[in-house]
């Protein structure tokens, strides 16, 4: 018999139909004459209840039906009397495909901590929480491509191995085939990268922006969606060493159009989740409520689905960096020294505590901060006429802090070269990037959305390690 997925069965199966299902056992409980198996096959958050009557199936067939075992069941769909679903399956034939020794199987049918699940990342797909996250993650990936396709953008595969440091922050992972114990040296005592695979120093990319800009200045509207790598030693719940970023780039568009695109894009993704992932969101909402049940009322998060709707129904607040510094400086938080990093002078970078204060306490909705001091932003950002600030924008979200970073790009060749010189970025290596400003340069803008930060927001999870299948963080690359 052809297999029916549990999602399809729960949606469409008619009482009386004969079907085959395959999946992994979540729980088994029973009495003298009958056993109940909760079966999950990953297609949907809900389990299918399989009823085994010992009159028709010998009890010995259940010997290896334990949590974690994979089984195949032929049976008849019947109306359910209380499994939480409309239908259940009365087994007529049951086969164990792969047993799971209950003494050794790490995932017991009880609540496991997220920390423990991280240690068994290869099995955590089988937990309700990670199953839900995996399905939502897929939907968000699809929605990203759908949004840009519908808007007439072209997807560009930018390189993962690169010779340039797009953000100029020097936080890159080297890519080399040289033997670290026998490094070839030049006459002046430096490592001779001419002998390396690419004949030059190469790294994993921190961003596809520079390459996607070159495509933008021919194709008009483009985006890249790829893995990016940062060797920053930030062991926080918001940072990964390997994360996925969506970077659109639009020609003939200034910062205002860039911000408009960013807001519309994020809202589209959230709406898509509400329209297509409601079962999983409801589960995740319940999970969040339970995980916060011991918190004081004022410390509890907004209910997940309400929070998603709230973002959809409010326009993002636009504030300049300079205005934000004034707000922060004059805040009670600052005066009462509640910030770990007190706000002192104009020109320093904001910490996530400051970003969250602006979003959660002051404006109480998403904020787009613009026009940052030149000194704390990347070389490619468009300089303002004041000679001090650049046309940068960061989108700040509750609980997350920065979810998007973007800017209008410096399209003036001379200004760009001066900026690169002052930041010590070698012009010779960036000749191809500079060419775009020498030949047919136009105003253009773009941004990067951190995909896992979006996932944190949409799922209500608190740690970025729990929204990517196999997290890479300092001192951790298991699996």
* Residue ranges in contact with Mg ion by CB under 5 A: 405
For ligand 4AD, give the closer residue by CB, 46 or 118. Answer: 118
**Could you tell me the smallest distance in angstroms from the CB atom of residue 208 to ligand 4AD?**
7
**Could you tell me the smallest distance in angstroms from the CB atom of residue 445 to ligand 4AD?**
8
For Mg ion, give the closer residue by CB, 23 or 405. Answer: 405
**Could you tell me the smallest distance in angstroms from the CB atom of residue 300 to ligand 4AD?**
25
Of 136-144, 237-245, 280-288, 430-438, the window that binds ligand 4AD (rule: CB under 6 A) is 237-245
User: Among Mg ion, ligand 4AD, none, what does residue 445 contact (CB within 5–8 Å per kind)?
Assistant: none
Task: Map the footprint of ligand 4AD across residues 397-436, applying CB under 6 A.
Answer: 402-407
107 is written with which tokens? 């995932």
> How many Å is the Cα radius of gyration of the chain?
27
User: Among Mg ion, ligand 4AD, none, what does residue 404 contact (CB within 5–8 Å per kind)?
Assistant: ligand 4AD
Q: Are 21 and 39 in contact (CB under 8 A)?
A: yes
Tell me the C-alpha to C-alpha distance, in Å, between residue 227 and each of 137, 247, 450. 15, 11, 10
- Residue 42 φ/ψ region, left for φ over 0, alpha for ψ in the -120 to 50 degree band, beta for the rest: left
> What is the helix (H) or strand (E) element at residue 305, kind and residue range?
helix 304-313
For ligand 4AD, give the closer residue by CB, 247 or 280. Answer: 247
User: Among ligand 4AD, Mg ion, none, what does residue 450 contact (CB within 5–8 Å per kind)?
Assistant: ligand 4AD
Q: Are 153 and 223 in contact (CB under 8 A)?
A: yes
Chosen residue from 127, 209, 383, 436 binding ligand 4AD by CB under 6 A:
209
**Could you tell me the smallest distance in angstroms from the CB atom of residue 406 to ligand 4AD?**
4
For ligand 4AD, give the closer residue by CB, 75 or 248. Answer: 248
For ligand 4AD, give the closer residue by CB, 283 or 379. Answer: 379
For ligand 4AD, give the closer residue by CB, 44 or 270. Answer: 270
Helix%, strand%, coil% for the chain, nearest 5: 35, 25, 40
Per rule CB under 6 A, count of chain residues that contact ligand 4AD:
22
- Residue 309 φ/ψ region, left for φ over 0, alpha for ψ in the -120 to 50 degree band, beta for the rest: alpha
Task: Compute the distance between CA of residue 269 and CA of residue 288 in angstroms, rounded to an integer.
Answer: 21
Q: Which residues pair with 225 in a beta bridge?
A: 246
Of 3-11, 106-114, 345-353, 440-448, the window that binds ligand 4AD (rule: CB under 6 A) is 440-448
Task: Compute the distance between CA of residue 422 and CA of residue 415 in angstroms, rounded to an integer.
Answer: 11
Chosen residue from 41, 211, 247, 355 binding ligand 4AD by CB under 6 A:
247
* One character per residue 447-476, x = contact with ligand 4AD (rule: CB under 6 A): xx-x-xx-----------------------
333 is written with which tokens? 């938080």
* One character per residue 157-176, x = contact with ligand 4AD (rule: CB under 6 A): ---------xx---------
For ligand 4AD, give the closer residue by CB, 243 or 363. Answer: 243
User: Among Mg ion, ligand 4AD, none, what does residue 258 contact (CB within 5–8 Å per kind)?
Assistant: none
**Could you tell me the smallest distance in angstroms from the CB atom of residue 244 to ligand 4AD?**
8
Give the rounded distance of the alpha carbon of 430 from its chain centre: 30
**Could you tell me the smallest distance in angstroms from the CB atom of residue 183 to Mg ion?**
34
For ligand 4AD, give the closer residue by CB, 230 or 354. Answer: 230
**Could you tell me the smallest distance in angstroms from the CB atom of residue 241 to Mg ion?**
16
Q: Are 370 and 255 in contact (CB under 8 A)?
A: yes
Q: Among residues 144, 146, 151, 153, which one has the least CA distance to residue 220?
A: 153
Query: How many C-beta atoms lie closer than 10 Å to residue 298's C-beta?
Result: 5
Q: Among residues 358, 410, 362, which one has the least CA distance to residue 210?
A: 410
For ligand 4AD, give the closer residue by CB, 193 or 223. Answer: 223
Q: Are 49 and 83 in contact (CB under 8 A)?
A: yes
What residue ranges bind ligand 4AD (CB under 6 A)? 166-167, 207, 209, 230, 239-240, 243, 245, 247, 402-407, 446-448, 450, 452-453
């Amino acid at each position: 018999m052809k297999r029916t997925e549990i999602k399809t069965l729960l949606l469409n199966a008619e009482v009386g139909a004969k079907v085959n299902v395959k999946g992994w056992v979540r729980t088994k409980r029973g009495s003298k004459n009958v056993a109940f198996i909760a079966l999950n096959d990953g297609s949907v958050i809900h389990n299918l209840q399989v009823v085994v009557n010992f009159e028709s199936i010998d009890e010995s067939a259940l010997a290896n039906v334990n949590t974690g075992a994979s089984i195949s069941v032929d049976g008849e769909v019947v109306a359910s009397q209380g499994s939480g679903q409309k239908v259940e399956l009365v087994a007529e034939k049951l086969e164990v495909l792969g047993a799971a020794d209950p003494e050794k199987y790490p995932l017991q049918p009880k609540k496991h901590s997220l920390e423990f699940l991280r240690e068994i990342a290869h099995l955590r797909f089988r937990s309700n929480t990670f199953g839900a996250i995996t399905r939502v993650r897929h939907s968000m990936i699809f929605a990203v491509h759908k949004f840009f396709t519908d808007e007439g953008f072209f997807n560009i595969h930018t390189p993962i191995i690169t010779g340039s440091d797009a953000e100029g922050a020097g936080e890159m992972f080297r890519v080399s085939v040289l033997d670290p114990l026998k490094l070839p040296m030049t006459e002046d005592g430096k490592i001779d990268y001419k002998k390396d695979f690419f004949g030059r120093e190469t790294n994993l990319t921190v961003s596809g922006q520079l390459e996607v800009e070159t495509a933008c200045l021919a194709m008009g509207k483009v985006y890249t969606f790829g893995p990016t790598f940062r060797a920053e030693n930030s062991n926080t719940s918001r940072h990964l060493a390997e994360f996925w970023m969506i970077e659109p780039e639009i020609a003939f568009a200034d910062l205002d159009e860039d911000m408009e695109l960013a807001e519309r894009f994020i809202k589209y993704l959230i709406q898509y989740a509400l329209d297509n992932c409601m079962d999983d969101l409801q589960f995740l909402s319940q999970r969040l409520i339970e995980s916060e049940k011991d918190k004081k009322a004022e410390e509890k998060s907004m209910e997940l689905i309400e929070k998603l709707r709230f973002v959809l129904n409010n326009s993002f607040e636009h504030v300049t960096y300079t205005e934000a510094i004034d707000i922060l400086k004059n805040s009670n938080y600052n005066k009462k020294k509640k910030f770990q990093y007190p706000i002192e002078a104009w020109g320093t970078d904001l910490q996530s505590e400051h970003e969250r204060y602006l979003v959660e306490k002051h404006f109480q909705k998403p904020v787009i901060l613009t026009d940052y001091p030149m000194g704390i932003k990347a070389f490619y950002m468009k300089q303002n006429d004041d000679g001090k600030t650049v046309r940068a924008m960061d989108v700040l979200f509750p609980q997350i802090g920065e979810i998007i970073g973007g800017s209008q790009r410096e399209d003036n060749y001379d200004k760009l070269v001066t900026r690169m010189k002052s930041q010590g970025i070698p012009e010779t290596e960036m000749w191809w990037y500079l060419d775009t400003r020498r030949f047919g340069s136009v105003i253009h803008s773009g941004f990067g959305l951190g995909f896992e930060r979006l996932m944190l927001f949409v799922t209500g999870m608190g740690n970025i390690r729990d929204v990517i299948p196999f997290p890479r963080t300092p001192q951790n690359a298991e699996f």
